């Protein structure tokens, strides 16, 4: 059956599939530059025109991307578009902002709990580095939104659930773009609640990690609501 389906595809599509496989096998790694058209044509034993067509297909599938003047690269997140959930098309951004918090409260405490169960030594080191990066930026008075996102992403990775590590960055990017005042809640509270989450994960205490994450999110949510109300309807 696989063969029948495959035979209906053009040579360029077949070539695109073969290139996708090399990326899935990590022969070409995420973010890595692809070899030249000439080299790819030799490697896959097809013409350069076919390679060019195949690359176009992979661009449309967001598997590779062109960086002008440098070449073609494997995407950092192959197959993922910038706003994969199409949230830009949700019109009521105020409600979306609340929905994002509600979703985070559904999912992140449980992810923290899984992280406490499954975190590895390397994961723990990454988490500590990530927390330190936030605190350093806060101390220097610099923005720390991206470091904050990285902290939550690292917890999702530590959870060992691949869906979690795919979804959390997407949800957090959406929070950054669509929600009110991400990254501006009281910094002292943030430092304390982040530390509490990390300590619970280090102690491999799932319940404590879950509660710590819930507290952290609740505080941010309440703060965001408060700011929104004081800013009024037009904020």
Instruction: Output 137 or 154, the one with its CB closest to a second copy.
Output: 154
Least distance between a second copy and beta carbon 47 (Å)? 26
What six digits make up the tokens of 234? 């037009």
Tokens 């995407």, located at residue: 75
Least distance between a second copy and beta carbon 150 (Å)? 19
Least distance between a second copy and beta carbon 139 (Å)? 29
Residues that bind a second copy (CB under 8 A): 23-25, 60, 62-63, 77-81, 83-91, 95-96, 99-100, 102-103, 106-107, 110-111, 114, 161-164, 166-167, 170-171
Distance (Å, whole) CA 194 – CA 210: 12
Instruction: Output 87 or 124, the one with its CB closest to a second copy.
Output: 87
Least distance between a second copy and beta carbon 207 (Å)? 15
Instruction: Output 68 or 140, the one with its CB closest to a second copy.
Output: 68
What six digits make up the tokens of 185? 């809640």
Least distance between a second copy and beta carbon 108 (Å)? 10
Instruction: Output 125 or 163, the one with its CB closest to a second copy.
Output: 163
Measured CA angle at 148 (ends 145, 154), to 5 deg: 145
Least distance between a second copy and beta carbon 19 (Å)? 12
Distance (Å, whole) CA 215 – CA 198: 13
Instruction: Output 77 or 204, the one with its CB closest to a second copy.
Output: 77
Instruction: Output 104 or 194, the one with its CB closest to a second copy.
Output: 104
What is the helix (H) or strand (E) element at residue 71, kind and residue range? strand 71-74
Contact 145, 183 (CB under 8 A): yes
What six digits make up the tokens of 132? 């330190």
Tokens 């350093």, located at residue: 136
Instruction: Output 12 or 41, the one with its CB closest to a second copy.
Output: 12
Contact 51, 40 (CB under 8 A): yes
Distance (Å, whole) CA 202 – CA 151: 14
What six digits make up the tokens of 219? 């505080």
CB-count exposure of residue 187 (10 Å: 0-12, 13-18, 19+)? middle
Least distance between a second copy and beta carbon 25 (Å)? 8
Tokens 């053009």, located at residue: 10
């Amino acid at each position: 059956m696989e063969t029948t389906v495959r035979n209906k595809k053009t040579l360029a599509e077949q070539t695109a599939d073969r290139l996708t496989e090399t990326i899935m096998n990590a022969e070409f790694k995420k973010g890595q530059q692809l070899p030249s058209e000439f080299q790819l044509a030799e490697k896959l034993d097809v013409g350069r025109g076919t390679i060019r067509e195949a690359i176009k297909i992979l661009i449309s599938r967001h598997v590779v991307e062109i960086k002008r003047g440098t070449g073609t690269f494997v995407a950092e997140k192959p197959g993922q578009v910038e706003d994969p959930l199409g949230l830009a098309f949700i019109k009521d951004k105020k409600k979306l902002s609340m929905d994002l918090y509600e979703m985070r409260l559904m999912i992140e405490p449980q992810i923290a709990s899984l992280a406490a169960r499954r975190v590895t030594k390397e994961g723990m080191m990454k988490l500590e580095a990530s927390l330190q990066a936030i605190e350093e930026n806060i101390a220097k008075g610099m923005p720390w939104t991206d470091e904050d996102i990285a902290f939550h992403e690292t917890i999702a990775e530590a959870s060992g659930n691949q869906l979690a590590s795919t979804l959390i960055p997407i949800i957090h990017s959406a929070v950054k773009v669509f929600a009110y005042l991400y990254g501006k809640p009281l910094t002292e509270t943030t430092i304390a609640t982040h530390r509490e989450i990390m300590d619970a994960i280090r102690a491999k205490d799932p319940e404590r990690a879950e509660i710590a994450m819930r507290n952290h999110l609740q505080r941010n949510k309440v703060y965001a609501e408060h700011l929104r109300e004081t800013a009024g309807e037009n904020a």
